[in-house]
Structure 1
């Protein structure tokens, strides 16, 4: 599975953090304190060098004023970053509080469901026992009544057929009542079972919904942490680019000033040299001597070399 931090860094063009020998130094470690001390010392040296150079070249404090302005900007950015970190911490605490509240609600719901489930189970057990008792009672009662009726029929065989039909009808009615009672007990038991199934399905749905909410909150928290890390790296990259650009501008201005000073110096020296040649009548400005007999005499003078300007 790909690392989400590496993918986010590649998407927004952020360079990965360089780790020294794979070790992350804590903020309070001696190595971190020494590196911070060396960085502060080097910063002070660089500031003094640039200030001295600005005083020598420009006779002013323009660079130092720009450095102070950039330092104020960096302090404001650092304050903004600290405020953002504080807000993120507050959000993290709030999310943890919500997670604890949700967990407590889930536990209370679970405890309530377990209590309801126990009560329903006890009711079902009681119903089953009552049904068993009623069934046994009805069976025994029916058996006793049947025996009583049979004994009555045996005792009174000479009774009329009307009495026999009457008792048969009464027995049928009692059997019908018994069947209706059994049917009613079955319906009650089925209703209790259906209610238990509904409660269990509702509990499963609630647990799934709570798990989904927890996963959503976790993913949102991870996304906020990734965004914060990406913004921090982007701010660091922007600061590095601004520092490189300011250094490039300072170097370019210094080089341009140096070239201008060298050009002016060369022009001054050249003008002074030309004036000296003209005043002293040297080089190409030397007066030429008139020759008396140019036809008979041979010029043995060596050609003069032109003085380089």
Structure 2
């Protein structure tokens, strides 16, 4: 039986109502948190605000789909699909790291080109200054109008040179900001990847422990049943003369064993169902903690500095 089939069969109506109530509370908290985030991020640029709003929108959409699916089908398919998409995001992170390395290399090449271009402009500026000095010496006896034109040319060349320098510094600053933003994004994605990897390792260890437990339990129960069968055969051989009474006694004992096995099987299915619910609940909690860290909610919320707020009011 697959995970989807087990969810559809084992979730009771009471559990479905409890999950719907919990999801409804979570959605209300997300709506409130989104409104607060919109107000608190008004000082950020459009890109950062869109990232935060998209994160809230994604979380709200996932919980709404999960709530509808639980109420209609009593399954977690939408949440399972979302977790699988997050695993694909790990591969995207690796590709982003490679792209960051390429960006760093490109930045280094651009810095070298900027330095060469700056040196070239400085050499041209120095050459122009020398030429201007020579022109001043050669035409110092010319009319005042020629002197004004010469000064105008000198100022224009210096302004052009200054404009080139300012443009180069601005381009270098923009590239540096882009690299810093990529480094922050990679650091955040790497932290999320480490948390998911630790969670998967923990769950794998739990599944292995459960597998060992059930194998040992099967061997123990099998030996117990073998001993009971041997005892019943021995009693049957010794009480052959009382065949009628022995058959009635055997039928009674067999009914007890059957009832015991049914009760035991029912308990085993309940334990498997409870373990499955706990595993899914753990996944939801881990995902929610990751969302709180990325969206800076609850204990991860960034506190405002009181000093900066006073300066702004002044």
> What is the TM-score of this pair, normalised by structure 1?
0.42
- Work out which of the two has the higher radius of gyration on C-alpha atoms and give 1 or 2: 1
Q: Which has the higher helix share?
A: 2
